[in-house]
């Protein structure tokens, strides 16, 4: 019976008169988000780019690498590429007959290619890609190709390509 009387008392008193004895407290609310810059590359061969066979009269051999950049830093960036060393086969012979060429697509989110015409893959760093104006995440592709006009010594020529970021 007491409960019924208390509920009935609430019906007769306005809420403002009940709240007069309450206090308001302010609490700061903060969310901290760490800066992230992650770059991944992949190819049809699971991280390897295989070009070949290469020989006189053969069609140019080609391969593709997909590069994905995830960034929340808001900083402009460039993606740079270089060969770690020249392409060598099992016997240490250098692949010097014809250059490996590459081109780069524009990004899916506003970044742009710095290599729209075929360029030679070398050990010197080359800027491939520039981010959009807000340094946003983006995706682009690098297409590689090689052909040979001469008979090249047989073997599998290998090298690593380093793809790195630089911030403006």
Token readout for 110 is 């506003």
Closest CA to 143 of 53, 68, 65, 59: 65
Residue-wise pLDDT tens digits, 27-66: 888 898 888 889 888 877 666 888 888 878 788 889 999 9
CATH number of the domain residue 146 falls in: 2.60.40
pLDDT at 2 over 70: no
Structural domain includes residue 17: no
Q: Provide the domain count of the chain.
A: 1
Structural domain includes residue 68: yes
Range of the domain at 149: 27-167
Residue-wise pLDDT tens digits, 63-122: 999 999 999 999 999 999 999 998 888 998 888 767 899 999 999 999 999 999 999 999
């Amino acid at each position: 019976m007491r409960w019924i009387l208390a509920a009935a008392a609430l019906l007769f008193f306005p809420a403002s008169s009940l709240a007069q004895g309450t206090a308001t407290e302010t609490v700061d609310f903060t969310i901290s988000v760490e800066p992230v810059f992650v770059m991944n590359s992949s190819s049809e061969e699971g991280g390897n780019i295989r070009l070949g066979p290469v020989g006189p009269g053969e069609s140019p051999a080609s391969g593709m690498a997909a590069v994905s950049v995830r960034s929340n830093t808001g900083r402009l960036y460039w993606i740079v590429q270089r060969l770690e060393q020249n392409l060598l086969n099992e016997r240490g012979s250098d692949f010097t007959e014809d250059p490996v060429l590459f081109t780069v697509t524009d990004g899916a989110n506003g970044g742009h290619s710095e290599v729209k015409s075929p360029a030679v893959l070398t050990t010197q760093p080359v800027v491939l890609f520039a981010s959009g104006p807000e340094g946003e995440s983006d995706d682009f592709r690098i297409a590689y190709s090689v052909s040979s006009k001469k008979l090249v010594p047989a073997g599998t020529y290998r090298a690593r390509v380093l793809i790195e970021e630089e911030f403006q």
